[in-house]
Structure 1
């Protein structure tokens, strides 16, 4: 039984350390709320032996040994209040001003642009090339936005977001746009997305309802994206 407890502790600590390391070049997944989490393990079957009461062991006089250090502070990009974020250069959302100001998840326009619709989550990773090359590395974000009203033409896009040199602004790079049909609400949706190295990989629900995995890589220094082969 003690061996099982020790294994559980080790696994728990590994998960905590992985989640609090802010500069790993490891992407994550984001999906609408209610989607099953890949990090959630099914409950282990009950152990008949554990159901049998046993005498209480005496307390050990030796204090527990601390095996983990203090949690690292969140990176600046992770502190972003996305439903109320201000993002520059986000031309996908339309309007005469390239700066988009979200309030409670929407820019409030007649043809609204919504940030992280359907309970989607941001992905954090260092995947946008820093300029100049000697600039300190920082995490970037990949978020989902949707343009349009229900019942009319809509489109979704994955948006890479990088901090400005001063760290005070959030700047959007060229976006990855999903397809849309001729009829209202006929759009391709990103059901999950992640960063793989410096590429973006996503699961897309196509217009015919089927899903496929797509991957994009940066085609030039300006951050333009092009489809590539998965694998």
Structure 2
């Protein structure tokens, strides 16, 4: 997975579409909400243990917040075969440093989490409420014949518990050096209702091929399943 300008990313999408069979895209897995923190020892549970419920790029315990928490399911396949394919699973997510994560609203787009939070007055928290990452090979490759490597989908929340908050699913890749983490455009949840008391939350999420599926609890209290697919070579998502 290597990235250059938006133009090269658009070209890579064309190459993937034309050269990489869909069957090579792998599903991901994560443990249910409330599981131990997603460290190297817990990031890859077995399928039987799960429950359904663009710029340069360069590694908190998850903070508990009000409202439902998210979990994720395995969808298909196994991790890629290259040595780098399992590297992202070693990420200490509560203490991760992620570049290009603009959702957190910082002037510097490199977000440094410590114990699950970036520490700001209006905090950005990673994997809130015991949510876990999904691992899958689902983000655009460049070049198309590069070794298959896994990506991650993680839940991030902006705002204080009990106040207006907003959640987003964040696709994360290894950076060029194989050590740093780089975020692609996020799948943002709905804005909170007036006053901030009603918040949309992701109660479960998974990767199916190259699409993302999630069960959400809307601001009106109802639940529904939503699906997103890539809208362009820049990594933006569209609901369908």
1:151 aligns with 2:152: no
Which runs of no fewer than 5 residues in structure 2 stay unpaired?
1-23, 36-45, 51-81
- 1:175-190 alignment, distance < 5 Å: 175-179=186-190, 180-190=192-202
Post-superposition, which runs of at least 4 consecutive aligned residues in structure 1 deviate over 6 A? Answer: none
1:210 aligns with 2:222: yes
Question: Which residue in 2 is equivalent to 1:39?
Answer: 48
Question: Which residue in 2 is equivalent to 1:8?
Answer: none
Give the TM-score normalised by the residue count of structure 2.
0.67
Answer yes or no: is the 8 Å Cα contact 2:30–2:135 preserved in 1.
no
Question: Which residue in 1 is equivalent to 2:206?
Answer: 194
- 1:195 is paired with a residue whose SS is strand
Answer yes or no: is the 8 Å Cα contact 2:31–2:49 preserved in 1.
no
- 2:48 is paired with a residue whose SS is coil
Question: Which residue in 2 is equivalent to 1:25?
Answer: 26
Q: Deviations over 1:148-197 (max 9, x none)?
A: 01232210000000111221210000000111211223211000000000
The 1:31–1:147 alpha-carbon spacing in structure 2 relative to 1, beyond 3 Å, is farther
- 1:1-231 alignment, distance < 5 Å: 25-28=26-29, 31-33=32-34, 39=48, 75-179=86-190, 180-228=192-240
CA RMSD between the two structures: 2.3
Bigger RCO of structures 1 and 2 (CA < 8 A, at least 6 apart): 2
Give the aligned length: 174
Structure number with greater Rg is: 1
